[in-house]
Each structure stands twice: as C-alpha cells, then as structure tokens.
C-alpha cells in the first residue's frame, strides 16, 4: 500500500516531516557497489552524520554486514563513530588532525589523513607517533601533498611511513573525461613510493569505473544512500531514505489567484492545493520552489510557489482523492529519486540529504 492514506495519519502522531531510513537498502547498496570492485575491500564514507541518515544506526548496520573500514571528515566524527561501533573497525578522518589531538587519536584509534608536508612534519615530532594516512593531490588542488613533493614526502616519512595513502577523483561523475585516467596514472606513481601502505582512490563514481580504480580499499559515499552519478548498465541502487511530510490543509483555488510569498505562481485553471509541513527550516532547499515535486501514491504533484521556512504547497489536483490532512507526501524515495529532486533544485543529492535538520524525525527500518 502506498504511503499517504488515513492509516499514515493515525500512525504519525505528529504534524512534522519524517525520514524513513532504510538500513537494509544502504547495506544492499554497499554490497552492490562492492561487487563492481570485488578485488578491493569495500569501506564506507559516513561523514556528515552518514550523509544525514544517522551515523550510529547506519554504521552499525554496515559493520554488521562486514564493513571494516569507515571514513569521516573530522576527528570528532571519528570519536562519535568509534563509540557507536566499538573497537573492531578502522576509522580514517579525511581532514587530518593537529598534534594536540594525539591523545584523542590514540584513545579512539582514529587514523588522521594528513594533507600537507608541514602537518606531517609536526605529526612525526610526536613521541610514540600515532599511525597516520597521507592524501596525495593528483589534480583536485584542494587538499593533499602535491605530486612534485612526493619524493620529499618519501624521504620525510622513511622512518615512520604512512599506513594509508589516498587521493580523490576530480570528476568521477563523468566517466568519459580524460582527467580520470590522468589522475589514475599519477596516483599509481605516488603509491609506488609507499609499497607497504594501504591505497585508496575510488569514491562512488570511481567504483563505477571498475577494478583499475579500486586499489586496496574503495570509499563509496553518496552511492550507499541511493544517490550519485549515472549508474553503470545493469546496476540498480535503492533509496537510502524516504523523506515524507504530512499535509496540513487542502484547498481549492481559482484562475488568477497566486500562492505563497512573493506571489511567484499564478494559476490559470482551477486547482486543488495541499500545504505540507516541510520547509527550508528543515533543510529542504528553498531553490525547489516552483521546480521541485512531491508524490502522493505515485502521482507527481508539483511544488507551486516558494518553499518557506516551515511549509511547502503542492498541486494535488491529479491526486485529489488521496489528499487529506495527515496524509504524507513523498519528497525523496522510490517515487521521487534523490538525484532527480536535487536536479530540479539546481543542486546535487549530497546537499539535499546532508542538509536535513533535526526537525526531520529519523525512523529506522
């Protein structure tokens, strides 16, 4: 039975938006992506609260399924993750650490990814130097030791080499771009200077490019949650969450009337509207006004007017028999795919899910 009926109204007990987080789907996506690079270990990127899905439940589900290596951005995220999943996993923090973090790093067994020669020099001055990883910049020009500095890096770390060497693809969204192969060649060169280190290069899009990009460990992120670049032929990912919002009111409007702040949408025919409890105060993008869509029972209902802080109005004319106060409209899920909604708002799935705030109740199944 599709969501959106009277039973949903009775069960909701609250006129607030909710995200049904599908842990089994996330695990299934992890396994699907892993199958594309089967000679590599499949890690999981769970930074930014597991891309808005909830780091503790997501990481526990992945760990129970066999995932042993996790990636976060900040040391504090690593501490939270360690407390959630226990000692039997490797955790790497992309944004590195300062020497003052060393005790925290040791206590919680976090591997910081160091991104510049000065940071590495300072880290190596520590007594009982904690294990660390190194990011090599193969073309992103964002973080990492530059390629021309790799020989110096090798000399600097000779007595205390990194346990992990990684880089990051510039445009794995477009698998046809020559820069992918150029970066691959650079990373192979850089990694050859550290033969005993684990190597990692592929994000979700990199995994879609096959085993050549896999190295020792792959780092799928957005793909775990059902988003990311176009899928390879024959591959299907499932939604990591279903974002739903309850209808508060239903009303009819006539030609010439407008809706919402700024009167940005004028009706030219009689329409039925539903106002739902979701807005940019919940992290749903204001840019989706007059562009985004919702679904009631699989029927597409356009967003009309601006997205306001707490409310969105949708045109439910084609789904009028399903539109009633308390029924839930879907904004992300099997009926409204994450990247399709993001595209309509002029952004990417990453921003849409990571921005969802605490007012959106997470329900785990």
326-358 pLDDT tens trace: 999 999 999 999 999 999 999 999 999 999 999
54 touches 45 (CB < 8 A): no
Residue of 97, 248, 229 whose CA lies nearest to 176: 229
User: For position 14, what pLDDT does the model report?
Assistant: 73
State yes or no: is 350 an active-site residue. no
Angle between helices 75-85 and 55-65 in degrees, nearest 10: 60
User: For position 252, what pLDDT does the model report?
Assistant: 97
Total count of residues recorded for the chain: 365
d(CA 50, CA 56): 8
| pLDDT tens, position by position, 318-327 | 999 999 999 9
Which of these is catalytic: 47, 132, 213, 265?
47
**336 burial via Cβ count (<10 Å: 0-12, 13-18, 19+):** buried
User: For position 21, what pLDDT does the model report?
Assistant: 98
Fold of the domain built from segment(s) 6-20+239-364: Lyase, Ornithine Decarboxylase; Chain A, domain 1 (2.40.37)
User: For position 12, what pLDDT does the model report?
Assistant: 44
1 assigned ligand-binding residue: no
User: For position 219, what pLDDT does the model report?
Assistant: 98
In the predicted model, residues of the chain with pLDDT beneath 50 are: 1-13
309 assigned ligand-binding residue: yes
Which of these is catalytic: 188, 261, 280, 350?
261
| pLDDT tens, position by position, 169-224 | 999 999 999 999 999 999 999 999 999 999 999 999 999 999 999 999 999 999 99
Angle at 349 between CA 300 and CA 240, to 5 degrees: 80
C-alpha 265 chain-centroid distance: 32
Q: Where in the chain is the domain with CATH 3.20.20.10?
A: 23-225
Q: Determine the CATH number of domain 23-225.
A: 3.20.20.10
Q: Where in the chain is the domain with CATH 2.40.37.10?
A: 6-20+239-364
State yes or no: is 261 an active-site residue. yes
User: For position 8, what pLDDT does the model report?
Assistant: 44
């Amino acid at each position: 039975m599709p969501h959106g009926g009277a039973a949903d109204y009775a069960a909701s007990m609250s006129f607030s938006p909710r995200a049904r987080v599908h842990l089994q789907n996330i695990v299934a996506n992890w396994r699907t992506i892993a199958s594309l690079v089967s000679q590599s270990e499949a890690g999981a990127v769970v930074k930014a609260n597991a891309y808005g899905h909830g780091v503790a439940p997501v990481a526990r589900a992945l760990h129970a399924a066999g995932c042993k290596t996790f990636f976060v951005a900040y040391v504090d995220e690593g501490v939270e993750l360690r407390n959630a999943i226990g000692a039997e996993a490797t955790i790497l923090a992309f944004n590195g650490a300062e020497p003052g973090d060393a005790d925290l790093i040791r206590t919680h067994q976090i591997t910081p990814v160091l991104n510049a020669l000065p940071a590495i020099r300072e880290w190596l001055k520590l007594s009982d130097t904690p294990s660390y990883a190194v990011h090599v910049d193969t073309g992103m020009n964002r973080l990492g030791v530059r390629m021309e500095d790799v020989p110096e890096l090798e000399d600097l770390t000779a007595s205390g080499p990194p346990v992990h060497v990684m880089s990051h693809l510039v445009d794995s969204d477009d698998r046809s771009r020559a820069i992918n192969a150029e970066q691959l060649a650079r990373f192979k060169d850089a990694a050859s200077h550290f033969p005993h280190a684990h190597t990692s290069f592929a994000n979700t899009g990199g995994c879609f490019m096959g085993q050549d990009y896999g190295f020792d460990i792959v780092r799928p992120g957005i793909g775990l949650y059902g988003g990311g670049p176009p899928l390879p032929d024959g591959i299907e990912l499932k939604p990591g969450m279903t974002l739903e919002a309850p209808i508060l009111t239903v009303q009819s409007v006539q030609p010439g009337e407008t809706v919402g702040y700024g009167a940005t949408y004028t009706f030219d025919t009689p329409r039925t509207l539903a106002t739902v409890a979701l807005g940019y105060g919940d992290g749903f993008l204001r840019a989706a006004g007059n562009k985004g869509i919702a679904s009631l029972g699989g029927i597409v209902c356009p967003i009309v007017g601006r997205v306001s802080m707490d409310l969105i109005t949708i045109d439910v004319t084609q789904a009028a028999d399903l539109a009633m106060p308390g029924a839930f409209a879907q904004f992300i899920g099997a009926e409204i795919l994450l990247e399709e909604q993001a595209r309509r708002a002029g952004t990417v799935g990453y921003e849409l899910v990571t921005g969802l705030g605490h007012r959106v109740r997470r329900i785990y199944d």
